[in-house]
Amino acid sequence: MIAADEHTDEVRPDERFPRTLRANLHPPAWRNPEPAGRYALVIIGAGPGGLTAAREAAALGAKVALIERDLIGGDRLNVGCVPSKAIIRTARLYAEMRDAENFGGQVPGEIRIGFATVMERMRRIQARISRGSSARRLAEAGIDVYFGEARFSGPDTVTVAGQSLRFRKALIATGARPLTPPIPGLAEAGYLTNENVFNLTARPRRLLVIGGGPLGCEGAQAFARFGSHVIIAQNDPTFLAREERDAAQIISDALARDGVEIHLNTAVVAVRLEGADKIVDLVCDGDKSSVAVDEILAGIGRAPNVESLDLEAAGIRYDTNTGVKVDDFLRTSNRRVYAAGDVCLEHKFTHTAEASARIALRNALFLGRRRFSKLTIPWCTYTDPEIAHVGLYVREAWDQNIPVRTFTILMHDVDRAVTDGEAEGFVKIHVRQGTDRILGATVVACHAGEMINGLSLAISTGIGLRALARVIHTYPTQAEAIKMAAEAYERTRLTPFLRALSKRWLAW
Amino acid sequence: MTVFHSPRRPATVADPPAETDDALLDRFQRAAFCYFLEQGNPENGLVADTSRPGSPASIAVVGFALSCYPVGVERGWMTRADAACRTLLTLRFFQGSVQSDAPGVTGYKGFYYHFLDMKTGLRVWQSELSLIDSTLLLAGMLTASVYFDADSPIEREIRSCAEALYRRIDWPWSRGEGITVRQGWKPGSGFLHYGWEGYSEATLLYVLGLASPTHPLPCESFETWTATYQWENIYDIEFLYAGPLFIHQYSQAWIDFAGIRDGFMRGKVSDYFENSRRATLVQREYARRNPYGYPGYGKNSWGFTACDGPGFETKVIDGRTRRFFGYAARGVPYGPDDGTINPCAALASLPFVPELALSALRHFCRHYPEMIQDSRLPSGFNPTVPGAGAAGWVCEGYFGLDQGLLVLMIENYRSGLIWRLMRRCPPIAQGLRRAGFTGGWLS
């Protein structure tokens, strides 16, 4: 029995960790440096992409400026991956305590959830990770760190905090922000996004999540595990619409098991306040209903941060929906200016931002011709189990007229998954029919995000299933599923003719 | 009667009563057939979805009923005149029913609502205008139109009625704005918003839609649909994946897919008959591996498909937290799996894996006799949930879809009757050709 700690839910104002975080990521007494001459590279935005480019450029000996209007680290550290993963870890712990008997364990007495301690741990971890990205460390690495709003004031100048920075090359890495869903009454009633959900001081007793995308699913499951009554309303037929059907189905079942109420094909049409309750009107197949909740988490869509940059002044083309226009070399319509990460890419992930920043940097400073489209980019949704993908989906292969064979290993056949009580999910590896060339893969498993890396390595280096079958994997590990899939491929090569030959040889 | 595809074997068990396979099958087939006599409304030909009190009619079950009557005649379980009368009554009902976009009628655009009132034949349960269930109904009408080939007024009217009902279906409308067909439509809210991608029981729908003499589906609709297929190697068995067994059985109940191949199957050097065989083997293998440790699973105890279950609840049984479902499309290997087996699905695999299906039937008879009343298999049992006997929870009443599928599949195994009839049905051959099928009996 898990009971929420209702009376001590309020987060005690322990300001230690937020203070540390700010001291590292936007020191109150920071004084911007005096620009001395032209910069080889000016980077706007100190999120994952901007930081990666700044560090690499400085290491290569470039004179580099990094401009941040708020906190260094961007979404990843402050409102994205780091805080959410910290919370998800605690949520998984509670789920394991709940299921202790299935693991042969016993939890003495009643399990109480203290939301305050969950959030405090999250802030401690943020502060811990922020050390590596502190303004001081960046300055020590030879990077000129500026705080303030950046604006282009010409094709080769940026203005920040009253100072004009001339550049040979610039990189826009300003990221994206949550979209406001156009639902009547939502803004007035108030709602949460990934930007402010981590500021919650009390656990909402009833939570409505709009949209069943990755962020929505992760948040819904975590809060359900903390004892919130969570409803997901999604105006699409399946969760995680871009993922494979079976993968999405497993996640949907997992959420339902945690008590998340899932309403597919359901549109949120209006929100209104009635006392402390937020009343949400839903429509499903023409049928109307209403639910009362304490908080609403909107997990749909992100808008690129392009508006306040005066991009026109530098002749940079952009769109408020899709962001800065770039070519495959990540160059904008201004030959001196490049862009990377969420501000210009469809795939809005931290690792994509970093990888694209590396490409943009090489292309900008070293006349590089690296193409973004050549990258192999995996991604993962951190529900429990996780769902990770890399490369082509079957549908995409079909669209390119590539015939596909899929080798599937169920996690329930992987010894370590069984011993760990994590037997849900699968590894699917798609190969081009008639070859062992890996086109793509989907992993649904408790540690899918870790497992997908081996497959990304195989795809990006051209390692096929035959070679993978010969790679010795440690036993027992869950990643062994990848080798098992490769072995399944090898077994299909044993045709009846080869078997007959082998039999004759052995009988001789 | 000739044996189809696989020679019948002698009884696999010797314990008394030493009933032959054929006698055993005859007993279960007849019991399944009787569902339609018991649950039909003699006034309008509609047949109840289930044998539970107050059940509405399901148009798919009516389609199965129309296909089962010829079996009944051939087996001597009803007279040809009686079968023709029932069939004509049914066809006349649909021909006279109201077609409009109003919410409380029987159908629209030539399609019909999934569930109808047994007496009035009007839409109930706010059900959807169902494309696939209308297809199964139409398959029954076309089966009747081929079987009743005599030059008598009744049989002539059966043929003309069936043709008229086929001709009035507006297949292209069913695609909405898309290329492939939608799953359904509701008055007021329009087309259902459900994704209907991946291999499913819709092959028959596309075949009949492509062959329409009046409003055919374009050929690219089928090709676009097959582009969502997933060819997988699971447990060392390669097949076109779909989780629930019924997907591998519904179209196959009417169409003999052995030896005929569309573009997809040519690329994989397989066919949809062989594919159903492999899908069944995957089901059996899953039951043997039994990853979640459900009681009762084994090499002779399998059958995961759309069926009723113990109900939507979570219970701790023998120290394990178990989640159960009510009516749901159970499937393997990705689930959902709550320990519920539908024995009808196993027996309906008879044409594909005769020996294994018979072994499963004998296993069910031997180990769970309490769930089999009057030789009729229930639509689900779950030994994990305590019940009156070893079978645990047993589905209450019978489902027309299961009983109808059993009659057709047992018949296809015993004589190939339905397959032979449908080979002679011009829309079937024409639709298959338009879908790109070649070879085998189409040559």
What string of DSSP letters covers A293-335? ESEEEE---EEES-GGG-GGGGT--EETTTEE---TT-B-SST
pTM over 0.95: no
Which helix (H) or strand (E) covers residue B80, if one does? helix B80-96
Confidence class of residue B5 from pLDDT cuts 50, 70 and 90? very low
**Is the CB of residue A377 less than 8 Å from the CB of residue B253?**
no
Cα-trace Rg, chain B = 21
Q: Would you call B291 and A245 a contact, using CB atoms and an 8 Å cutoff?
A: no
Judged by CB atoms closer than 8 Å, whether chains meet at A398 and B227 is answered as yes
Measured CA to CA, the distance from residue A278 to residue B347 in angstroms comes to 52
Between A and B, how many residue pairs show a Cβ–Cβ distance under 8 A?
A: 81
> For testing the chain B interface, which of A101, A269, A285 should be mutated: the one with the most B CBs within 10 Å?
A285
Preferred mutation among B183, B193, B266 to probe A, highest tally of A CBs within 10 A = B193
What's the pLDDT at B18? 76
pLDDT tens, position by position, B211-240:
999 999 999 999 999 988 999 999 999 999
Q: What's the token pair of residue B79?
A: 């007279």
When CB atoms are compared, the residue of B194, B231, B267 closest to A237 is B194
**Looking at the DSSP assignment, which residues form a beta bridge with residue B322?**
B315
Q: Which residues are bridge partners to B373 per DSSP?
A: B376
Q: Which residues pair with B381 in a beta bridge?
A: B341, B394
* Chain A positions in Cβ-Cβ contact with residue B333 (cut-off 8 Å): 408, 410, 412, 426
Task: Say whether A286 and B194 touch across the interface (CB within 8 A).
Answer: no
Angle at A443 between CA A439 and CA A445, to 5 degrees: 170
User: Can you tell me the mean pLDDT for B91-112?
Assistant: 97
Give me B423's structure tokens: 């080979």
- With CB atoms and an 8 Å threshold, state whether A410 touches B320: no
* Interatomic CA distance for residues A401 and A415, integer angstroms: 37
Q: Is B49 helix (H, G, I), strand (E, B) or coil?
A: coil
- Between the two ends of chain B, the Cα-to-Cα distance in Å is 25
Can you state the angle between helices B203-210 and B219-226, rounded to 10 degrees? Answer: 160
Beta-bridged to residue A150, according to DSSP, are A160
Q: Give SS3 for A281.
A: strand
Q: Among residues A221, A227, A226, A505, which one has the least CA distance to residue A383?
A: A221
Farthest-apart Cα atoms in chain A, separation: 88
Residue pair A94/A111 in contact (Cβ under 8 Å)? The answer is yes
Across-strand partners of A210?
A: A233, A298
Cross-chain CB nearest to B234 (options A241, A408, A489)? A408
Distance from CA of B177 to the nearest CA of A (A): 16
pLDDT at B373: 93
pLDDT at res. B11 = 40
Best residue of B191, B230, B317 to probe chain A, by most A CBs closer than 10 Å: B230
Q: What is the pLDDT of residue A289?
A: 95
List residues bridging with B376 in a β-sheet: B373
Biggest distance spanned by C-alpha atoms of chain B: 67
Please tell me which residue of chain A has the smallest CA distance to B324. A257
**Do residues A388 and A380 touch, judged by C-beta distance below 8 A?**
yes
- Taking Cα atoms as reference points, which of B422, B426, B411, B405 lies closest to residue B36? B405
Q: For residue B16, is pLDDT > 50?
A: no
Q: Is A470 left (phi over 0), alpha (psi -120 to 50) or beta?
A: alpha
Q: Please tell me the predicted confidence (pLDDT) of residue A201.
A: 87
Q: What is the 3-state secondary structure (H, E, C) of A357-379?
A: HHHHHHHHHCCCCCCHHHCCCCE
State how far the Cα of B168 lies from the Cα of A351, in Å rounded to an integer. 56
Of A244, A413, A492, the CB nearest to B233: A492
The predicted complex's ipTM stands at: 0.89
Q: Which residue of B has its CA nearest to A239?
A: B195
Closest CB to B194 among A265, A404, A426: A265
pLDDT exceeds cutoff 50 at B353 = yes
Distance from CA of B190 to the nearest CA of A (A): 8
In chain A, residues with a C-beta closer than 8 Å to the C-beta of B292 are: 412
Q: How far is CA B157 from the centre of its chain?
A: 27
- Numbered residues of chain A with Cβ closer than 8 Å to any chain B Cβ: 99, 101-102, 235-238, 241, 244-246, 249-250, 253, 257, 265, 285-286, 394-395, 398-399, 403-408, 410, 412-413, 423, 426, 428, 433, 488-489, 491-492
| Residue A157 backbone zone (phi > 0: left; psi -120 to 50: alpha; other: beta) | beta
Judging contacts by C-beta atoms under 8 Å, the chain B residues touching residue A238 are 195
Residue A250 and residue B335: Cβ atoms within 8 Å? yes
Interchain contact, A286 vs B188, CB within 8 Å: yes
pLDDT at position B17: 57
Neighboring chain A residues of B101 at a CB cutoff of 8 Å: none
Question: Which residues from A are below 8 Å from B297, CB to CB?
Answer: none
Chain B hits for A265, CB-CB cut-off 8 Å, are 192-194
Among A237, A244, A405, the residue with its CB nearest the CB of B231 is: A405
DSSP letters spanning A13-60: ---HHHHHHHHHHS-TT--PPPP-S-EEEEEE--SHHHHHHHHHHHHT
Residue type, B299: K
B114-164 pLDDT, tens digit each? 999 999 999 999 999 999 999 999 999 999 999 999 999 999 999 999 999
| A413·B195 Cβ contact <8 A | no
The answer to whether the Cβ–Cβ distance between A491 and B335 falls below 8 Å is no
Contacts for B149 with CB less than 8 Å, ≥ 6 apart? B155, B159
pLDDT by 10-residue block (mean), chain A, 508 residues:
43 64 87 92 96 96 95 79 93 93 85 91 90 90 96 97 96 92 93 87 94 87 96 84 86 92 92 96 90 91 92 96 96 97 92 96 93 94 96 92 96 97 96 97 98 97 96 96 97 88 88
Kindly determine whether residue B319 and residue A423, on different chains, have CB atoms separated by under 8 Å: no
| CB-nearest partner of B291 from A412, A433, A489 | A412
Of B198, B231, B238, the CB nearest to A245: B198
